[in-house]
Chains A and B, each alone.
Chain A
Amino acid sequence: MEHVREFFAAERGDDGKAVGTSLARSDALGHVTGQTQFYADRQFPGMLHLKMVRSPHHHARIRSLDTSEAEKLPGVVRVITHKDVPANVYTILRLIQVEPNDEPVLAEDKVRFKGEQVVAILAESEAVAREAVARVKVDYEELPAVFDVEEALKPGAPLVNEYHGHNWFTYEGHHCRRVRHGDVEKGFAEADHVIEERYESSPIEHAPVETTGCIVVPEANGRLTCYSNTQALFFTLDNAGLILNVPFQKLRLIGGTVGGGFGGKVDVITEPVAMLGAMLTGRPVKYAYSREEEMQVSSPRAAERLYIKDGVMNDGRIVARKVRLYVDAGAYSRHSPYGTTKASAHMPGPYTIPNVSVDAHCVYTNRTPSSAMRGFGVTIGDFALEVQMDKLARLVGMDPIAFRIRNAYRDGDMKAHGELTKGAALVETMQAAAQIAGWPISAEDAAASSTRAGG
């Protein structure tokens, strides 16, 4: 970290001794006086309110779209459909070469989850915008929907996302992200015990107290200023530029103050359509999720399902671990192809196991698209792995801490995804935790170290 000290010495203005001291938050005074400015705390003359016509169905074909009654309503300034979006289909992570574009800004011929954006209404007030939303007529032909990751992978399952052509994300030609290390079948054959367990989680909504939203203001110099509570200003700027087909320097993003995010505000949903609205009307546009929208359509943490099969010896050594892991991406990729890769690389957990096989599937279903949330791709897997470790410890009659110290990775061990372990501190962490909790450990375990070979 020395170079950081050198580069930022002036900006830091400290002596590098902050660790162990209690420093006041720089934003605390603004927070307690109410002076902190969130994106919605700005007023602009002539500001329009954007409300969205959303899919009432999980999966449906759009036969026709009639916005004429909405357009007639006094106070409605503009109605936006997919035809108005310069480059309607995108995927957030195209910025880091994830392909293909699989998500429309506004639905074209199909909706793939309940609450999907179909038509945007811009009106003088929220009340008018809401009434106009109710006047838009969409003729849907409902399609069979699939909500379960394993059902979605079966032959004959409803095809969720045509841009992929099948209900899984393709990793370098493979139907899942794979990790192979040693010979897992040989490991099972040699093991004293083999067990397989199933783990599953539900989607989890971040529920920030401030809902997702933005205000876009057209400036006299031709630029658009976007005040947003996004957690990902540059993802938003670049994706918006590509969607709107405008040079990046025409867009100015102002953010940084987020009323709770937890990963739920890294998608690029409200800004591009609000920017388009400002471009088409020349007026400021506010697009803020209602609480109901925040709960229904903002990306949750992905639901995951894991099957963990382990081979373990009577002396407590895990000799083989095979993991089948399913991440429910919902209808679109968003951050899930990345989260699934992260999940696969996280296996088999912080343990040295000579034979490991992981198949991590990123699966499309007709559920709300999932995305980032605190440690996504890792948290659910860790839950499953640690419950599994307790079960294995019981199976071989070992203390759960002793069992983990036996299998903990040490510096120099090769990880399943092919990287050498460096700076491991698991053994020491467990020793400290045992001491704090008053959990007895053996003299041998108390003397164990991450810098020496395990066992």
Chain B
Amino acid sequence: MALDIVRADSVGQAAGVLAGDDGARFLAGGTFLVRAITAGDVSIRTVVLSDGLGLDRIALGDPIEIGSAVTMAQVLGEPHLGFLHPVADSIGGPAVRAMATIGGNLFAQSPYGDFAVALLALGASVVSEGADGEASQDLEAFLAEGPPRGRIVRAVRFATPAAGAFRYLKITRKHPHGASVLSIAAVLPVPGGTLAGVRVAYGAMSPRPMRARAVEAALEGRPLDAAAIEAATKVAADGTMPEDDPQASAWYRRAVLPVHLRRLLSGEEG
């Protein structure tokens, strides 16, 4: 019942504790983990704090690197990450944004995890550290397989998208902030008049953030015109597995997804 608190001196040491203890969890913002503890998840016996491990830094190189303990509020305070401000701003009210972290968002289940949706569209990779040192994993694989046991997410890395290429929208029932009915993030580069390297990701359209591959294929190599948008809209719901929850039914999510995708692509929304 009682909870052990571990303050580690390094990420490696923290990872060692996690590797050796099934009941240990790494605590960042706490908006998911402390909620689970309070709700009576007795499988959590040990909490390893992320405080003081240097994971709360943003490095504005190429690629950009955001530490896993960086909060939404920190992202909002960084002018060079302006294209991500609408994403960070969409995650909860000010108190949640001051607590919730980029790393924690990678572990969120539907209808949460909108920042991970954006990172998925940006083609981010996840840097983690364990006993055998540092390793990098594609975010899509990370979401599919889960993080390797005994490793701690240090940061996410991604290349800066072309100016104006990143788009994001989040549909909520509660305004101005609420959990997602759905969210969509897209990187739509048009280097020579046609789309090249399109990436589209959805939130709340499956248990975890997902790529919209059919939409990407429908857009790739075409100009971003009415015909391409029409083709993308037709396959908007391909591969989605939304859930029923208090925000919306699975049926509703599928029904409105093409509408919001069309608006995002045509620039009417987002």
Which residues of A are at the interface with B, using a C-beta cutoff of 8 A?
75, 125, 127-128, 130-131, 134, 290, 292
Q: Which DSSP category, helix, strand, loop or mixed, fits chain B's interface?
A: loop
Could you say which of A125, A130, A292 has the most chain B C-beta atoms within 10 Å of its C-beta?
A130
- Asked if B191 CB lies within 8 Å of chain A CBs, one says no
What 7 A-B pairs come out closest when comparing CB atoms? A130-B40, A127-B1, A131-B42, A128-B1, A131-B1, A127-B40, A125-B1
Cβ contacts under 8 Å, A75 to chain B: 1
Count residues on chain B whose CB falls below 8 Å from chain A CBs.
Answer: 4
Closest residue of A by beta carbon distance from B1: A127
Cβ contacts under 8 Å, A130 to chain B: 40, 42
- Looking at the assembled complex, report how far the CB atom of B45 sits from the nearest CB atom of chain A, in whole angstroms: 12
Closest residue of A by beta carbon distance from B37: A127
Closest residue of B by beta carbon distance from A129: B40
User: In whole angstroms, how far apart are the Cα atoms of A292 and B40 in the complex?
Assistant: 12
Could you show 8 A-B contacts with beta carbons less than 8 Å apart?
A: A125-B1, A127-B42, A130-B42, A131-B1, A131-B40, A134-B40, A134-B42, A290-B39
Question: Quick one: CB contact mask for B22-46 with A, threshold 8 Å, 1 for yes?
Answer: 0000000000000000011010000
- Looking at the assembled complex, report how far the CB atom of A207 sits from the nearest CB atom of chain B, in whole angstroms: 11
Q: A75-B1, A134-B40 are in contact. List 5 more A-B contacts (CB 8 A).
A: A131-B1, A131-B40, A131-B42, A290-B39, A292-B39
Cβ contacts under 8 Å, B42 to chain A: 127, 130-131, 134
Could you say which of A127, A134, A292 has the most chain B C-beta atoms within 10 Å of its C-beta?
A127
Cβ contacts under 8 Å, B40 to chain A: 127, 130-131, 134
User: In whole angstroms, how far apart are the Cα atoms of A36 and B20 in the complex?
Assistant: 48
Cβ contacts under 8 Å, A134 to chain B: 40, 42
Question: Quick one: CB contact mask for B108-131 with A, threshold 8 Å, 1 for yes?
Answer: 000000000000000000000000
- Looking at the assembled complex, report how far the CB atom of A300 sits from the nearest CB atom of chain B, in whole angstroms: 14
User: In whole angstroms, how far apart are the Cα atoms of A127 and B43 in the complex?
Assistant: 12
- Looking at the assembled complex, report how far the CB atom of B113 sits from the nearest CB atom of chain A, in whole angstroms: 22
- Looking at the assembled complex, report how far the CB atom of B247 sits from the nearest CB atom of chain A, in whole angstroms: 14
Interface positions of B from 1 to 16, Cβ below 8 Å from A: 1
User: In whole angstroms, how far apart are the Cα atoms of A134 and B42 in the complex?
Assistant: 10
User: In whole angstroms, how far apart are the Cα atoms of A130 and B39 in the complex?
Assistant: 9
Cβ contacts under 8 Å, B39 to chain A: 290, 292
Interface positions of B from 53 to 107, Cβ below 8 Å from A: none
- Looking at the assembled complex, report how far the CB atom of B95 sits from the nearest CB atom of chain A, in whole angstroms: 15
Interface positions of B from 197 to 214, Cβ below 8 Å from A: none
Closest residue of B by beta carbon distance from A125: B1
Closest residue of A by beta carbon distance from B41: A130
User: In whole angstroms, how far apart are the Cα atoms of A290 and B38 in the complex?
Assistant: 10
User: In whole angstroms, how far apart are the Cα atoms of A440 and B136 in the complex?
Assistant: 71
User: In whole angstroms, how far apart are the Cα atoms of A273 and B53 in the complex?
Assistant: 48
- Looking at the assembled complex, report how far the CB atom of B62 sits from the nearest CB atom of chain A, in whole angstroms: 45
User: In whole angstroms, how far apart are the Cα atoms of A252 and B71 in the complex?
Assistant: 49
Closest residue of B by beta carbon distance from A290: B39
Closest residue of B by beta carbon distance from A292: B39
- Looking at the assembled complex, report how far the CB atom of A123 sits from the nearest CB atom of chain B, in whole angstroms: 10
User: In whole angstroms, how far apart are the Cα atoms of A134 and B39 in the complex?
Assistant: 13
User: In whole angstroms, how far apart are the Cα atoms of A25 and B42 in the complex?
Assistant: 45
Closest residue of B by beta carbon distance from A75: B1
- Looking at the assembled complex, report how far the CB atom of A289 sits from the nearest CB atom of chain B, in whole angstroms: 13
Cβ contacts under 8 Å, B1 to chain A: 75, 125, 127-128, 131
User: In whole angstroms, how far apart are the Cα atoms of A290 and B35 in the complex?
Assistant: 12
Closest residue of A by beta carbon distance from B2: A127
- Looking at the assembled complex, report how far the CB atom of B29 sits from the nearest CB atom of chain A, in whole angstroms: 20
- Looking at the assembled complex, report how far the CB atom of B119 sits from the nearest CB atom of chain A, in whole angstroms: 30
User: In whole angstroms, how far apart are the Cα atoms of A434 and B40 in the complex?
Assistant: 56
- Looking at the assembled complex, report how far the CB atom of A406 sits from the nearest CB atom of chain B, in whole angstroms: 40
User: In whole angstroms, how far apart are the Cα atoms of A101 and B39 in the complex?
Assistant: 34
Closest residue of A by beta carbon distance from B42: A131
User: In whole angstroms, how far apart are the Cα atoms of A292 and B39 in the complex?
Assistant: 9
- Looking at the assembled complex, report how far the CB atom of B40 sits from the nearest CB atom of chain A, in whole angstroms: 4
Cβ contacts under 8 Å, A125 to chain B: 1
Cβ contacts under 8 Å, A131 to chain B: 1, 40, 42
User: In whole angstroms, how far apart are the Cα atoms of A127 and B40 in the complex?
Assistant: 7
Cβ contacts under 8 Å, A290 to chain B: 39
Cβ contacts under 8 Å, A292 to chain B: 39
